[in-house]
Amino acid sequence: MTIKEIKDKGLLLFECISGSRAYGLATSKSDTDLKGVFYLPRSEFYGLSYIPQVSDERNNEVYYELGRFMDLLSKSNPNILEMLASPADCILYKHPLMERLNIKTFLSKNCKETFGGYAITQVRKAKGLKKKIVNPMPQKRASVLDFCYMLEGNTSAALKSWLEKRNYSQERCGLVNIPHVKGLFALFYDAESKTPYKGIVVNENSNDVSLSSVPKDAQVIGYVFFNAESYSMYCKEFKEYWDWVDQRNEDRYLDNKQHGKDYDAKNMMHTIRLLQVTEELLRTGELQVNRSNREELLAIRSGKFEYSVLLEQAEALIQQIDFAYEQSTLPESIDHQKLENSLIEIRKELY
């Protein structure tokens, strides 16, 4: 099922503009994100083809089946609660049955964890991009040879350099495993044979060293250590970096690179926004999606603050949230039975 089919078949229950435009934080570069709620025809709902949600390729448009929507509401999901609390000018369509879902029914102290907890993960995410922005990786992946070292007395040398100094070819080298010692190998060299050893690696794309069979009288020329753990970690970071390059929003990346603060400024803006929303929600019992401090939040987005300053602000907000939680008059949790009864009644009327 597609979003178009949902609308063409009259299955739409709710549709709203979400994201930055709903928060009042849109810029000239902002996309228009849409979210919605739909229901399945009776045969599909009772059959084997239940569809929990439908989205476009970029996830800019996400529509939840009614049951999935209510399930996420029961878990105080921030995105879903924000949908239900959408500003009037952001609501594009609302079926009369959706009027039964009052936002206040779904607000509880659980929001401290779902809103505030999510915000804290965003702090880590924002800083986690520093490495990618400041330290781009070369397109060619390093090889196993780059993580091999030659033991020399009480120190070590990069194996590639050690081989180059002696004009040795890695293809004519042979490695033999040293029993009971992880990552350490005896190194042999055959400069003359037409069928030399297997080499240290089979080719540059190898993910491990190659072991050879050597004659009993062959002379050991040294000992090689392969740092397999570092190589594995490097390969993971290499893949993550180039996956990120393929998927990143280029305008957003250039913005982050330009302001030079080594963090994802858009993530930090939404982190502070979420923490402010959490404190306000616990203190007042209301969820205000559209933010009154647009200029402050957009200043964060443009990189006008050092990361340490934003961390201090976040920590202060977390303390305020803890205090507001203790004083809050919101219920401890949502009345799940009431929520389920609402879902059943809406289903009955739809079918």
pLDDT tens-digit profile, the chain (351 residues)? 999 999 999 999 999 999 999 999 998 888 899 999 999 999 889 888 889 999 998 889 999 999 999 999 999 999 999 999 999 999 999 999 999 999 999 999 999 999 988 887 776 655 555 455 545 678 888 999 999 999 998 899 999 999 999 999 999 999 999 999 999 999 999 998 887 899 999 988 899 999 999 998 999 999 999 999 999 999 998 888 777 667 655 554 445 555 555 677 888 898 999 999 999 999 999 999 999 999 999 999 888 888 888 888 988 998 999 999 999 999 999 999 999 999 999 999 999
Output the pTM of the full model. Answer: 0.64
What does the block give as tokens for 41?
């025809």
According to DSSP, the β-strands at 61-65 and 33-38 are: parallel
Domain locations along the chain: 1-105+331-351, 109-129+263-329, 145-228
Q: Tell the residue number behind the tokens 């509880």, with chain if given.
A: 108
Q: What is the dihedral of CA 239, 243, 246, 250, to 10 degrees?
A: -110
CA distance 153 to 291: 65
| Among the listed residues 7, 79, 70, the one whose alpha carbon sits nearest the alpha carbon of residue 346 | 70
Cβ pair 274, 122 in contact under 8 A:
yes
Residue 177 has φ and ψ, to the nearest 5°, of -65, 140
